[in-house]
Amino acid sequence: MAQRDGRRKKGSMNMGEVLEGKIAAVTGAASGIGLSITKALLAEGVKVVMVDRDAAALAKLADELGGSAIPQVTDLLNPESCDGMVPEILEKVGRIDILLCNAGSYIGGDLVDTNSAAIDRMVNLNVNSVIKNVRAVAPHMIECGAGDILVTCSIAGHAAIHVEPVYSASKWAITSFVQTMRRQLMQHGIRVGQVSPGPVISALLSDWEPDRLQRMKEAGALMETQEVSDAMMYMLTRPRNVTIRDMIVLPSNFDV
């Protein structure tokens, strides 16, 4: 019996849409889910514009990942930088076939224990920058007559999680935005969807109490970033007549 070497040919993971030769832009690409999906796309022959505000990290990663990984330094919390993101990407690579709005931040705990500046920062990053990025790329994709827009949401966009009222509110807003834009853009051949993971081991959980994080790790209630990027790849490789409007991905022992 022939042995399987664990490798796959480009495009072999999908039964429909072939990704090789496409150009993707990924926000929050220097770490976590963003870096994981970047690597997965590169493995399928996609040119990836890695968007992040960390210029040093982007330069290092671009050097490690090769010529198909293109750094784009953008601070999504800076209005001018955010507005310039899509035009700058188009100037560099000519088109955007896939936009992955992945950058985000997290606030947990009681509302009274946070502050207005932290709330503004999180809502601006989790909600406003996504709306702005989609608004900026939509005319380009409409002109092309095709495209994929995929947003990293959260299980918190489906359940009222009492220990994270601000974060949950931002993700409920994103769920509404993604599903309304899916209906607006479907007539132009543009697919819009979201992936809604449960807790993922990433910098997003850096403000979790250490004992809570450790308990959830030991209980198998946290996922690795690759589990989320695998779901994204599945969504992106469906035939063009299929849209995965939302995929909820949970650790098997996550009780919500």
Catalytic positions, please? 167
51 within 8 A of 27, measured Cβ to Cβ: yes
Asked if 202 and 225 touch (Cβ cutoff 8 Å), the reply is: yes
CA distance 214 to 149: 34
Concatenating the DSSP letter of every residue in the chain gives: -PPP-S---TTTT-SS---TT-EEEEETTTSHHHHHHHHHHHHTT-EEEEEES-HHHHHHHHHHH-TTEEEEE--TTSHHHHHHHHHHHHHHHS--SEEEE-------S-GGGS-HHHHHHHHIIIIIHHHHHHHHHHHHHHHHT-EEEEEE--GGGTS--TT-HHHHHHHHHHHHHHHHHHHHHGGGTEEEEEEEE--BSSGGGTTS-HHHHHHHHHTT--B-HHHHHHHHHHHHTS-TT----EEEE--TT---
